[in-house]
Amino acid sequence: MAACITCHGREGQATNSGYFPRLAGKPAGYLYEQLRSFRDGRRQQADMSHLLANLSDAYLREMAEYFAALDLPYPPPAPSDLPAAQLARGKAMVFEGDAARGIPACASCHGQALAGVQPGIPGLLGLPRLYIASQLGSWVTGDRRAPAPDCMAEVGRKLNNEDIRAVAGWLAAQPVPADAKPAAALPAGVSVACSAMGAHP
């Protein structure tokens, strides 16, 4: 895992770069699918694609399970510099969505605690604002894809720049509870068809 920690931090805890996401504690199914997506071209990042190009599914699964099993504390979030109204909009999108525009609440799939759901939906807390915004933007532009049914591509096409700034800003400003763990399941199931729930660690 030495190559991973160069960017993602020792034991996948993330670094202070403000961009690279934390890997520790994410659902193994999610991490595995992201590794496969970088290797197979559904996600584009030159260093990741190069590192993973010749690795087997079995080895990618082993990497995913290693990072998923880590249980490490999160640092407190940096104070937000966004206006209160923008943060309020972000919170509303996270927990309520925008029914008029067909946008589900983030929490309807990522869990009310926003800690993710097994086997393949990631938590949204403890991530840098720049990373969250860039990933949402990648879903909007089609630069990031997932196997069909690609639920985030469907949601992403409906987001505008203000939605992305507000959601990313609010999420990045939230502390991560000490006992935050991916939920075993969603009580009502996912709000849109999603390949993430078919991922297996």
When pLDDT is cut at 50, 70 and 90, the band that residue 20 belongs to is confident
Burial of 71 (0-12, 13-18, 19+ CB in 10 A): exposed
Burial of 156 (0-12, 13-18, 19+ CB in 10 A): buried
Residue 145: both structure tokens together: 């894809």
Task: Summarize the confidence of residues 161-166 as an average pLDDT.
Answer: 97
When pLDDT is cut at 50, 70 and 90, the band that residue 13 belongs to is low
Q: Please give the backbone phi and psi of residue 195, each rounded to the nearest 5 degrees, phi first.
A: -65, -20
3-state secondary structure of 37: helix
Interatomic CA distance for residues 27 and 121, integer angstroms? 7
Share of the chain above pLDDT 70, in %: 95
Q: What is the pLDDT of residues 106-163, one digit of tens each?
A: 999 999 999 999 999 999 999 889 989 999 999 999 888 888 899 999 999 999 999 9
DSSP string, 132-162: HHHHHHHHHHTSS--SSS-HHHHHHTT--HH
The per-residue pLDDT for 12 is: 59
